[in-house]
Amino acid sequence: MTWLVTGGAGYIGSHVVQAFLEAGLPVVVVDDLSTGHRSFVPAEVPFIQADINDTPVLTGTLREHEVAGIVHVAGFKYAGVSVQEPLQTYRANVSGTVSVLQAARDAGVPNLVFSSSAATYGTPQTETVTEDTATGPESPYGESKLIGEWLIADEARATGLRHTSLRYFNVVGSGYPHLVDTSPHNLFPLVFDAILDGRQPTIFGDDYPTPDGTCVRDYIHVSDLAVSHVSAARRLQAGEELAPVYNLGSGDGTSVRQIMDAMAAVTGRDVAPQIKDRRPGDPPRIVAEGALAARDIDWAMRHSLEQMVESAWTARQRWQDRAQD
């Protein structure tokens, strides 16, 4: 039976769609193309351009395609911007999730995998985050994702919905040359733009108590993340119980300086960054433990840092070439 991927024309959602297809599982995509791209959705995949707040359209899609489960990726994903745009954030991420849940209830769809975020933790007091680490979101985006988890858990108690939420950390790379991260706020696109424009990228602080003085964060390859969505979907559809939340993280982390060095090596460009003062509130290190996801939903770090950078750079160059044609 078919799975619905909301936001399936976006960077992460399109990789999830590809992972389902490679696993032999049919999908249908709903996306409003506010940040996604129609070209990211394979021609053979049914595509409905619609806002996820349009509950009747969602319900009709679920019924028409006899959908067995939903991977809910659609949302407003810019933590920094969410501070200036809280209403837009809540409409997309909270009202949108209510709409998805209502459509699932109305159409009798029993399974849901939710795209959550490390932003639910805010600035944790521990250097290694587990699923038991206290949540403390510090932006409307992080709050909206945590509320989404609560909504799903409440609906599950009311209806028996089988579900799990996957908390992503820093998603990078590309599994296919035509699928690229076009976010104007993520690290990789920002650095690539600087390289291509002949500008210096920026490091905020090089005096942290880390091996090279720069912040350490958790970077994961988008294709590795997509595989875990398929595994979670299969287990839910088989009636198996999963944990309510899984972290998708490396367990080690990578420093900003290491990222810059890898980009210089891969691109062959001068990536000598300018160093600016620390940003207020930036913790030295945030890394997630992914052992629970590795046990239950086929989570693994299958790509090296160099492969993450190289795949992202290849996709970014192809995207630029297409834009210039």
**Mean pLDDT score, 228-251:** 97
Q: Is residue 285 part of a domain?
A: yes
Which are the catalytic amino acids? 141
Q: Tell me, yes or no, whether 143 and 193 share the same domain.
A: no
Burial of 157 (0-12, 13-18, 19+ CB in 10 A): exposed
**Do 264 and 142 fall within a single domain?**
no
Question: How far, in Å, CA of 309 to CA of 262, rounded?
Answer: 7
Residues 256 and 239 in one domain: no
Q: How many CB atoms lie within 10 A of CB 296?
A: 18
What pLDDT shows up at residue 110? 98
Total of domains in the chain: 2
Position 234 pLDDT exceeds 60? yes
- Total-model pTM: 0.95
Query: Of all helices (H) and strands (E), which one includes residue 209?
Result: none
Angle at 98 between CA 16 and CA 68, to 5 degrees: 45
Kindly report, residue by residue over 102-136, the tens digit of the pLDDT.
Answer: 999 999 999 999 999 999 998 888 879 999 999 99
The whole-number pLDDT of residue 323 equals 67
Question: Among the three residues 248, 266, 291, which one is the final residue of a domain in this structure?
Answer: 248
Compute the C-alpha angle 3/55/93, nearest 5°.
Answer: 80
Residue 259 lies inside a defined structural domain of this protein: yes
Which domain CATH number covers 204?
3.90.25.10
Residue 180, in any domain of the structure: no
Residue 20's H or E segment, with its range, is helix 11-22
Looking at residue 103, which CATH number applies to its domain? 3.40.50.720
Q: Given CA atoms 281, 285, 290, 292 in this order, what sign does their dihedral have?
A: negative
Please choose, from the candidates 34, 25, 44, the residue with its C-alpha nearest in 3D space to the C-alpha of residue 7. 34
For residue 313, give the H/E element and its range.
helix 305-324
Looking at every residue in the chain, the average pLDDT score rounds to 94
* Res 284: pLDDT: 84
Whether 325 shows a pLDDT value over 60: the answer reads no
What is the pLDDT confidence band of residue 324, given thresholds at 50, 70 and 90?
Answer: low
212/113 same-domain check = no
**The pLDDT of residue 281:** 63
200 lies in the same domain as 80: no
Asked whether residue 290 falls in the same domain as residue 155, the answer is: no
Query: Domain containing 209: what range?
Result: 187-217+250-324
Instruction: Please check whether residue 115 is in contact with residue 64, taking contact to mean a CB–CB distance below 8 angstroms.
Output: no
Total Cβ atoms within 10 A of residue 50: 17
- The answer to whether residue 275 scores a pLDDT higher than 70 is yes
Nearest-angstrom CA–CA distance, 88 and 304: 36
Least confident of 9-18, 261-270, 277-286: 277-286
